[in-house]
Amino acid sequence: MPRIASAEAPYPPQIAAELARIMPKGVEPLVLFRTLARNPRVFEKMFAGGLLDKGALSLRQREIVIDRTTARLGCEYEWGVHIAFFATKAGLDPEQVAATVTGPADAACWTADEQALLSAADDLVDRHTITDSTWSALAMHFDEARILEVIALVGYYHTISFLCRGLELPFESYGARFPASRRVG
């Protein structure tokens, strides 16, 4: 059971409009979104800071950063939602999906630029900074706008992971699960 029950329809008009905008047609709003709706201010601020729109990074690059960040933080809920909605669209094969959870940043299934993204997520989660060697690798492949987006994504999904784990949200029925060796409870 989640620690805070999610809101149920009918939602306040502003929240209903935002949920309709961000959710695919016919898909019930995520438990995370409905729980955040219990506090309209937090809901609004979280969506104002969202980074799922078209940005400096490609969909694949963005999803690699999000998947690695949420996996490293043990947030199976958010990782599973992103795998379910975006892995195929981002061109992540089953080996790569598993490697976002259990593989090293330099696994052979990744290109050099993708390894730099994974290393950046690992550094920020583990060290709360980016090492010089990771920065050099990022700078070889990405301009300043993309590097800033990588850092912002890791930070944003750190917060999302805290919300999901702190609230003990139940998994979405369609959400992917971590490989058995990595499951947290």
| Residue matched to tokens 């905008």 | 21
Domain extent listing, the chain:
13-48, 59-179
With 90 as the cut, is the pLDDT of residue 48 above it? no
Residue 52 pLDDT class (50, 70, 90 cuts): low
With 80 as the cut, is the pLDDT of residue 51 above it? no
* Mean pLDDT value across residues 127-138: 98
With 60 as the cut, is the pLDDT of residue 57 above it? yes
Whether cis (ω within 30° of 0) applies to the bond prior to 40 is: no
Quick one: how far is CA 72 from the chain centroid?
11
Q: Could you give the C-alpha distances from 71 to 55, 65, 88, in angstroms and in order?
A: 22, 10, 18
Question: How far is 118 from 103, CA to CA, in rounded Å?
Answer: 10
Phi and psi for 129 in degrees, rounded to 5? -160, 180
The pLDDT of residue 185: 41
What is the architecture, at CATH level 2, of domain 59-179? Answer: Up-down Bundle (1.20)
Nearest-5° Cα angle at 31, 52 to 47 = 35
Give residue-wise pLDDT tens across range 69-101: 999 999 999 999 999 999 999 999 999 999 999
Please list, in sequence order, all residues whose beta carbon lies within 8 angstroms of the beta carbon of residue 41, skipping any fewer than 6 positions away. none
Contact yes or no for 83/99 (Cβ under 8 A): no
Contact yes or no for 115/106 (Cβ under 8 A): yes
* Local structure of 43: helix, strand or coil: helix
The pLDDT of residue 181: 65
Helices (H), the chain: 13-22, 31-36, 40-48, 59-72, 76-86, 94-102, 112-127, 132-141, 144-167
